[in-house]
Amino acid sequence: MSPEELTFTLVLLALYAVPSTFLVLRRLFTDPKGCLTKFFVLNFVVLLLSFFFVWQLVEAIQTSDMIAFDPYEILNIPGYSTKKSIRKAYRALSQQLHPDKSRDPLAASKFSRVAKAYEALTDPAGIANYKKYGHPDGKSFHLVDFKAMSGTTGLAIIAAVYGGVLVAGILMALFGGDRYKPEVNPELVERMMAGWHDKMSTFEILTRIVTGVKQPLEEKAAGNCCGGGGSLYEMDDDMKAFLVALETHQCISAIEHRDISRITGQDHVQRDVIALYYHLNQAKVHAVKDLVVPCILPPRAKDIALQLPYLLDVFVELSIKMVADKRSDSATIVHALRLYPSLAQGSLVADAAAIAVQRGRFPDGAKVPQLTLTEATLTVDGESDVFPKDWVTLRVTCARQHVVPSKPAAKALTIYDKIDPSYLYRKEQLWVVAYEGTTHTLLGAWKVEDPSDSHQVSDALGFWAPASTGAFKVEVRVLSTTYLDVEASQTLTLNVVKQPQQHQSTSIFEELDSDDE
């Protein structure tokens, strides 16, 4: 490759390497935990590969303008000289340039160059290396010898390397990662949060998040279903008839049937809610012999069930922001958090039957899931009292009795196990909710950061104290995202006292003025 081609290739690599370096460093300093992803590691490996190519290209550019090694020119002899003439010229120059006989500071390097020229024309190995590589020392060390390539070949190699990495990234995106995770966009958020209020029921929350479920392509939803049925979009009547059958066979209650029937708006929302209720009541459905399930329903129900936890994450996060801004009731937050274990265990109600099914997933002798709130304190840093509008820190320590001490928690036992053992929401998370006991006003809600999945976890969160004085009851509740009816709670007293008035101090200048008078 010519110097111009080498420089052009270097510029192309720099267009990727420079911004990518900035992004990698920024991610390392701002979000170290977020660096443990497949795509970040892939990008980091490609960046290292880019630096290697840059190093080789810079070295090639720096040496591309060096004078070629010509032994005849160095010895000042013609190209047809005999060995005798070569030896004579070498002796003359060596006596002239020998470091012991010359005062020239460059004598050593010049003498070495003359010796290499003589070696290239007399030594058999030196002659062979010179003819093959242009130097008696042989081939210089280059992992990638860009200078020896044509411009097309060099660019083709770089394109092949980066193309291979790009294909690997695409395959990772298609077959790795969270294939169930829906794409969150402003339109989806607007649909989910439409009609939001601070006292939403569990059914209202379910209806809202179902609106965000991805719809299958029409060609994928088509098929010969139930002896001649059409696509999923043509089965609304069949789904409504199935809903009636669910109530008739007591798989769902009359109230649930009524609520689902009243769902308005897009037809697919009601259809998906029916599919979800089928998924959550499969045990009851399978126990009924005469109940015919539309054959297209089970795969659709599975798809919905695996998408909902991701959408519930979005709903909870946005709800916390809305409640915090308005200082509203905490009911919607608590109901939404209790939906996580309902989806994981396949029951919207934590009744005795659902708890028994949950317990049946554990082997004999295993500990029943249980949380214990071992410590909960309310403090203000640097102060012994709490004044109005102080920043109060809530510190909690919770023990998971079903997790063996000094060992990380195993994946939770849920209905996801048989669908996808590696499903993200098999990992048990703990949420802490703090609200005022009388008005139920939300004070704070957060997910406990516990990367080690340990037996005992501790965390803290701050919130603003009430603007008025008095004794306030603060309800602290810890909830599990994988197990029904696994909660721990404690009531704390927050005494907010009036801030004492500070005595007005007299400045030193005022004292001096009074003394002069």
Kindly state whether residues 79 and 161 are assigned to the same domain.
no
- How far apart CA 314 and CA 335 sit, in angstroms, is 14
The enclosing H or E element of 472 equals strand 470-480
Q: Which domain holds residue 38?
A: 3-66+150-175
246 located within any domain = yes
User: How many domains are there within the chain?
Assistant: 4
33 located within any domain = yes
Kindly state whether residues 196 and 93 are assigned to the same domain.
no
Joined together, the tokens standing for residue 172 give 């990772």
505 located within any domain = no
HSE (side-chain half, CA atoms, 13 Å) at 69: 24
pLDDT in tens, the chain (517 residues): 566 666 777 777 777 788 888 888 887 887 776 676 777 787 888 888 888 877 777 777 665 544 456 777 778 888 777 888 888 888 888 888 877 777 777 778 788 888 888 877 777 776 666 665 555 655 554 444 444 445 566 566 666 666 666 676 666 555 555 677 888 888 888 988 988 999 999 999 999 999 888 877 554 555 555 554 556 666 677 888 888 999 998 888 899 899 988 887 666 888 889 889 988 888 888 888 888 888 778 888 888 989 999 999 999 999 998 887 777 899 999 999 999 999 999 888 888 888 988 999 988 888 889 999 999 999 998 888 999 999 999 999 999 988 888 888 888 999 998 888 888 899 999 999 999 999 999 999 999 877 667 888 999 989 888 888 999 999 999 999 999 999 999 999 999 999 887 655 555 445 545 555 5
Kindly state whether residues 39 and 168 are assigned to the same domain.
yes
240 located within any domain = yes
CATH number of 107's domain:
1.10.287.110
CA distances to 31, 263, 289, 385 from 490, rounded to whole Å, are: 33, 38, 47, 21
Kindly state whether residues 373 and 428 are assigned to the same domain.
yes
Kindly state whether residues 408 and 283 are assigned to the same domain.
no
- How far apart CA 463 and CA 449 sit, in angstroms, is 18
Kindly state whether residues 308 and 449 are assigned to the same domain.
no
Kindly state whether residues 46 and 82 are assigned to the same domain.
no
Kindly state whether residues 161 and 103 are assigned to the same domain.
no
CATH number of 448's domain:
2.60.40.150
Kindly state whether residues 213 and 306 are assigned to the same domain.
yes
Kindly state whether residues 77 and 52 are assigned to the same domain.
no
Kindly state whether residues 60 and 82 are assigned to the same domain.
no
